[in-house]
Amino acid sequence: MGVGEICLKMGAKGCLVITDKETELVEWPQVAVVDTTAAGDSFNGGYLAARMAGKMPQQAASAGHALASVMIQHRGAIIPSAVMPRENKSKQLTIDSGPARSVKLLAPFCASTWVFW
């Protein structure tokens, strides 16, 4: 028994995903930071949604990074509706984070606190 999965968030350095079988640094491209309000909650929501959808911890970390990276490019804890995550026909969450980049997350969006035992 014990903790079977840990995700240690390290800000701009990415996060360290530790499981019973491996340890992996999951990085994400840097974006222009406007405000870090709700960045952690956004990461947690993206991570949890992906894990609840059956994705691997590394995939979940990428989903968390994707959502948090959109969040920190806007002021406050609520992002504008134009960049709000939306589910597409294939049940993937699409976030349009600008004209040159669209990010597809691995699961529907949810927010929650998390610990995996």
Enzyme catalytic residues: 41
Q: Which contacts of 68-71 are long-range, i.e. CB under 8 A and separated by 24 or more positions? A: 68/39, 68/40, 68/42, 68/43, 69/28, 69/29, 69/31, 69/97, 69/103, 70/42, 70/95, 70/97, 70/103, 71/38, 71/39, 71/42
